[in-house]
Structure 1
Amino acid sequence: MPAAYVFDAELWEWPARASWFFVSVPEPISDEIDARTHGLTPGFGSVRVTVRVGGSAWATSVFPDTTRGCFVLPIKKAVRDAEGIAPGDSVRIHLDLADARP
């Protein structure tokens, strides 16, 4: 199983916090991430990752979202500005797990 994933996802704004923006990691990839990192994550299940969107790369974490049934990936303002992306846009995500079982 690879520790690197590429997928397209729509950028959305978290309704409870208007300044936070995320993409949802597709369920099959979320399920694989959960299986590969189970027991390696801190209390609430965040998973350290490195991400690339266009020419922007950074380290962050994905977080489990029980409402959506998947992990969610925060996209910071500097990346949104640099890449010209806004809520509703489809974004190509390159995601690598920092800690995972083979």
Structure 2
Amino acid sequence: MPTIVVGDKELNGEEGKKLVLVLEDHGIDIMHMCGGHAQCGTCRVEVLGGSVEPMSPLELRTLQTKGVATDGHIRLSCQLRVKEDIAVQPLLTVHEMGVGPGPRPRD
């Protein structure tokens, strides 16, 4: 089972599960608004370490539309599937945004 490091927390993530769901299921404060469809860009994370799958054209287009650097360090957690150990930092949180998250993304 892959390990996801967020700050000083280590989470076990079910292999193949969307990163946004692993984070949310472990009580990590992460914003998401579009239900995991890579449309809103609010579930962004910075990948601090580890290996992640290549960015899809949809994810790339959403990040470009939002004016986010697309060098691979900033990713949409709704588009990343947990496959290996990684370290991430959520960039937008429910607490900071002051609103509740959108619909729970499907796995």
TM range (shorter): 0.3 to 0.5
So what's the TM-score if we normalise by structure 2?
Answer: 0.36
So what's the TM-score if we normalise by structure 1?
Answer: 0.37
Name which one, 1 or 2, has greater alpha-carbon Rg: 1
More strand by share: 1
